[in-house]
Amino acid sequence: METTIEVNEAGVFSLELTSPEGCVETDELEVFLQAVPVVDLGTDPGLCEGDVYQLDAGNPGLTYDWSTNDTGQFVNVNESGSYSVSVTDEFNCVGVGSVDLVFNGNPEVNLPEQASICDDDNVVLDAGNSGMSFLWNTSDTTQTIETNVTGTYSVTVTNEFNCSSSDSSNLVVNDYPIVDLGPDLEFCDGEIIILDAGNPGMVHSWSNTEDTPTINVTESGSYIVVVDNEGCISSDEVFVQFNPLPLDPMPNDTIVCFDDLPNGLYVNGQNPGATFLWSNGETDRENFINQAGVSRVTITTPNGCSQIFDLLLEEICNGDFLYIPNSFTPNNDGLNDVFKIDGSRMASLQVTIWNRWGDIVFQSQEKQPVWNGSDRGGEYYVESEVYVYQVYYQYFDEITGAISDKVKIDGYVTVIR
């Protein structure tokens, strides 16, 4: 005889128990069956990285025990994995549910944040992720697009899990600078010219290391400039020639007496090939000036460089007048072959000339002495160098006729052979 039974349905169950003595005892028990909580977490809906998915265990008001250690009806998740929950009712009946979730990766889209090209170039923007779906803001649906128009370009890339990523790029199309330094230039020494490469705000690099749009130029040479507009580069080159100015042919301002020989002053304008315009109207290179005051010559070189030179002649005839040259060329060419002292109203004159060793090479007491460059004995001619002279002289006063005190003059004369 069984003393226990198992039941799996609701109902009233009775028991009759008889003792060996025949005594009978009865009892009954009513059994109720409570339904287990139904838990359905659903299936993987297809999620992407960055999504937040809410799991719902249902059965409001019961007790929840999630595998994430949460204890509410709802739980938010954002990572791939297996999630489960136990739901317990007031009868301590437990329902269980689980689901496996996968958060699929999003495409990686890396367009350059900023792109810069020149106006004769194209840029190719590549969204990568070959085989996926593409949608550009230009309505293109290809992985790459090619363009040369300034603007912002964006793309959305979608993979097989319907996960999408977007990126954008700002494209700037730059013009090439227009650089024109003009034709080669000629100027005269002393002038300052300005070379202008234009294009302010861009990067300038000159061959003379300056970095400004304009430079001042005072020396002959080739000048190159490179102008950079965000990588779009143009350059130009110009040659600048500074031609020399005329040499100053004028002697120092001086005092003359036009009554005395040579009755004026010869001036050689030097500067071969140049043109001359003297203040007395003459246009030859050599000019004889026989008037007191400022004599002026305008000299223009073959390159067109002009300069004006002045000579002040003051005429004083009272007292002494003595002309001592500072150089001569004893080469028998008929020009400036001797050292000759010219004076007017001379009462006496003594001249002594020494070489650099202190030896006397010429000495005379004539009133208009002439030295041809020989030594005192006439045995040979002196070398080209600078010689020291000393002159003592007296003159007749033109007004009183008296003889002056002795006048001393020290100086140098250059012998040029």
**41: domain CATH number?**
2.60.40
User: 59 lies in which domain range?
Assistant: 1-104
Residue entry with tokens 């005892």? 25
Q: Do 72 and 145 belong to one domain?
A: no
Predicted confidence at residue 57, as pLDDT, reads 95
Q: Is residue 369 part of a domain?
A: yes
Q: Do 324 and 414 belong to one domain?
A: yes
Q: Do 53 and 123 belong to one domain?
A: no
Which of 223, 243, 263 represents a domain boundary (last residue)? 243
Q: Is residue 249 part of a domain?
A: no
Q: Is residue 352 part of a domain?
A: yes
More confident residue, 244 or 316: 244
Which of 152, 174, 196 represents a domain boundary (last residue)? 174
Which of 243, 265, 288 represents a domain boundary (last residue)? 243
Question: What CATH number is given to the structural domain containing 212?
Answer: 2.60.40.10
Instruction: Compute the 3-state secondary structure of the chain and give helix, strand, coil in percent, each to the nearest 5.
Output: 0, 50, 50
Q: Do 73 and 118 belong to one domain?
A: no
With a pLDDT cut of 70, the percent of the chain lying above it is 95
Give the span between the Cα atoms of 133 and 164, in whole angstroms: 9
| pLDDT tens per residue, range 258-305 | 765 567 788 899 999 999 999 999 999 998 888 888 999 999 999 999
Q: Is residue 252 part of a domain?
A: no
Q: Do 145 and 207 belong to one domain?
A: no
Judged against a pLDDT cut of 80, whether residue 378 lies above it is answered with no
Judged against a pLDDT cut of 80, whether residue 380 lies above it is answered with no
pTM here is 0.52
Mean pLDDT of the chain: 90
Six token digits for residue 341: 């002292």
| pLDDT tens per residue, range 26-37 | 878 876 777 899
Tell me what the mean pLDDT of segment 19-48 comes to. Answer: 86
Peptide bond into 262 cis (omega under 30): yes
Residues in CB range of 200: below 8 A, 6 or more apart: 213
Q: Do 3 and 78 belong to one domain?
A: yes
Q: Do 160 and 233 belong to one domain?
A: no
Q: Do 194 and 149 belong to one domain?
A: no
Tell me what the mean pLDDT of segment 141-145 comes to. Answer: 97
Residues in CB range of 14: below 8 A, 6 or more apart: 26, 27, 28, 29
Contact 264, 256 (CB under 8 A): yes
Q: Is residue 26 part of a domain?
A: yes
Q: Is residue 270 part of a domain?
A: no
Number of domains in the chain: 4
- Kindly tell me the number of DSSP H helices and DSSP E strands found in the chain: 0, 36
Q: Do 96 and 134 belong to one domain?
A: no
Judged against a pLDDT cut of 90, whether residue 113 lies above it is answered with yes
Q: Is residue 152 part of a domain?
A: yes
Q: Do 381 and 327 belong to one domain?
A: yes
Longest pairwise C-alpha distance within the chain: 201
Burial of 52 (0-12, 13-18, 19+ CB in 10 A): exposed
Q: What is the DSSP code string of 351-394? A: EEEE-TTS-EEEEE--SS-EE-SB-TTSSSBPPSSEEEEEEEEE
More confident residue, 318 or 188: 188
Q: Do 14 and 100 belong to one domain?
A: yes
> CA dist 47 to 22, 174, 405, Å?
74, 44, 127
Q: Do 327 and 415 belong to one domain?
A: yes
More confident residue, 287 or 22: 287
Predicted confidence at residue 320, as pLDDT, reads 63
Q: Is residue 254 part of a domain?
A: no
Contact 155, 136 (CB under 8 A): yes
